[in-house]
Amino acid sequence: MSDYNAIVIGCGGGGAVAAKELGERGLSVLVLEAGAKHNPFEDYYLMENTQVNPEDGVLRWGSSDRSRPMWYRDLAQNAFLWQTAGVGGTTQIYLANSPRAYRRTFLDGGGWQQDNDPLRPEPNPFPFGYGELRPYFEKVEATLPVAAAPMTLKEDLFFWGASQAGLSYVGDTRDQWGLGGYREQPNAVLPPDPALNTNGPTEHFLYPNIKGCVLCGHCIHGCRHPNKAPVRELAKRSTNASYAPLAEDTGRVTIRPNSFALRVLTGDSPGEGLIASGVAWRDTLTGAEGEATADVVILSAGAVEDPRLWLNSRLPDPFRQVGLGLTTHHFDWVVGTFDRDVNQNAGQGSAARCDFPGMGAIELVGLSPGLFAFGSYEFSRAGYNLKNGSAPPWDTRGRIVGPDLKAAMGDYKRSMALLVITDDDRVTARDARGRPLNGVDISQDYYPDENGPVPYVSWAVETPGTRARREWLAAKAAQILRAAGAVNVHRADWPPLLLHVHSTMSMGTDPASSVVDAWNEAHMVRRLFVCDNAVLPNALGGPNPTLTNQALTTRACDRIAATYFAG
């Protein structure tokens, strides 16, 4: 007999969901998480550098022993790969934005003449219809729960600018279709307590006197509010505060932190062929290694670590699809400065959006001062503004230095930032060394670290279509800011920020062009499932990916239970 019914690798956006769904069916589950299991009230801080510095911050991709170096990735180009380890994974730093994938990205999408880019060729669609996933969207939305974000000053101003720019309000449905428009962000954040006093210091927002979101503006640092609340009552529904506790409530799930998966173990089964039979891991604090067997193994380590683990495990990949075709959302950042305060530091981190199916999306985002200054004025592929000059529709573009930078940072509370999220084309070509142009492979140039050969990550090809959509969205963001009354508009023109990383273990019906089938099970290894953003066959049309990943994982668990555990 196996040690467990299932082993889940990773306790982030997908892994915690799989553990909860299978545990509720009475199955025994071991979850291996490479990072720590944090106590948010003790381990999360409002100090930006302490919390999110990618080298030694609390929420980094690395050991929970912060005196040790971060875990290395070989990046092919100037880019920032932003992920974090720990129970909750990268949902610890997400803004909890939970829109559904656009209907157009599914097998029955059709209706391209209704979209913003009707001449665009059909993307790699989901191998089933949108209606198939809708009940799973609804289940996840009810579990987290997901609700329309509350409005504060900056959201009201954003709505006004969007309406003056000719956009329509589309908040009456979560099934986005057609030309799009503006709406409240569907967020996995508990609503604010009606008794909340937004003028008081956050230290006074003590549980249980206050429940829900306290509108503190620090979502990206990991949610620790209301103060002294139990983890499961934290406002932001990262999986460490939602699905992980629900999984442990079943009494059938064991979450093992500080456990880095090294290899997927396999065996041969009559009638099934090659099957996943267990996992070997390394304790990241002691260096000790362990193994366990299972009837089913689920990869939920993310779109970078899933291919690394597959390739390091020497699992079969005859069509060389593993790690191929990475899509991201090729973000950009456009900032408007107003002649009055807009209080970007108050309210939820991202509480309003514009949807443009076929192009992407624009989200209103508030950041703390350091992250805002970096993202707005120092993180750019355009070089220095003083060399760029000015050209409509923005007044400045690129990095700002000297007195201009000091003045821009002084306008922090008078600034509104819009995040451009671009629907990205899937590129499956390789370079002369056989590495994916856009994708993940094993590094040919760097030594292994303590966890084995390190991943090579590349997003080198910005297709003409992706580039055109990004430019269109950036110009639209500038138009919204101008219409809202901005007296100055600045475009950062970001290099690749690899935060929404998808499609490296793509879903499809043909093993020659995909890694997993329509139910998330690997074509080449039975009983091996992939349940995270890696399985997305496209960039969803532009929406944030976590909700879709969670819906797909919930659906996959139905198949796992029915196929391997008699329901």
Strand order, beta sheet including 438-442: 74-75, 455-459, 438-442
Torsion angle of alpha carbons 432, 82, 393, 353, nearest 10°?
120
Q: pLDDT averaged over the chain? A: 94
- On the CB side of 231, CA atoms within 13 Å amount to 21
Per the omega criterion (within 30 degrees of 0), is the bond before 307 cis? no
Instruction: State the average pLDDT over residues 8-15.
Output: 98
Q: Could you tell me the residue ranges of all domains in the chain? A: 1-49+84-146+241-326+505-567
- The angle at the Cα of 414, spanning 408 to 420, to the nearest 5 degrees, equals 80
1-49+84-146+241-326+505-567 adopts what CATH topology?
FAD/NAD(P)-binding domain (3.50.50)
Nearest to 114 by CA among 176, 185, 183: 176
For the stretch 132-152, pLDDT in tens is 999 999 999 999 999 999 999
Beta bridge partners of 182: 169, 354
Instruction: State the average pLDDT over residues 505-514.
Output: 97
Q: What's the CA gap between 397 and 376, in Å, rounded? A: 10
Using the predicted structure, report yes or no on whether residue 16 has a pLDDT greater than 70.
yes
Low-confidence winner among 38-52, 111-125, 188-202, 340-354 (lowest mean pLDDT): 111-125
Low-confidence winner among 109-118, 256-265, 416-425 (lowest mean pLDDT): 109-118
For the stretch 463-481, pLDDT in tens is 999 999 999 999 999 999 9
Share of the chain above pLDDT 90, in %: 86
Low-confidence winner among 84-93, 219-228, 249-258, 275-284 (lowest mean pLDDT): 219-228
Instruction: State the average pLDDT over residues 481-509.
Output: 97
Return the number of other C-beta atoms located less than 10 Å from residue 384's C-beta. Answer: 12
**Model confidence band, residue 113 (pLDDT cutoffs 50, 70, 90):** very low
Do 257 and 9 meet the contact criterion of CB atoms below 8 Å apart? no
**pLDDT of res. 200:** 56
For the stretch 510-563, pLDDT in tens is 999 999 999 999 999 999 999 999 999 999 999 999 999 999 999 999 999 999
- The angle at the Cα of 563, spanning 562 to 567, to the nearest 5 degrees, equals 20
For the stretch 308-337, pLDDT in tens is 999 999 999 999 999 999 999 999 999 999
Of 470 and 46, the one with more pLDDT: 470
- Sign of the dihedral defined by the CA atoms of residues 563, 565, 566, 567, in that order: negative
Do 111 and 120 meet the contact criterion of CB atoms below 8 Å apart? no
Low-confidence winner among 75-79, 197-201, 363-367 (lowest mean pLDDT): 197-201
Instruction: State the average pLDDT over residues 154-164.
Output: 98
**Model confidence band, residue 112 (pLDDT cutoffs 50, 70, 90):** very low
Instruction: State the average pLDDT over residues 389-395.
Output: 87
Q: What's the CA gap between 365 and 331, in Å, rounded? A: 13
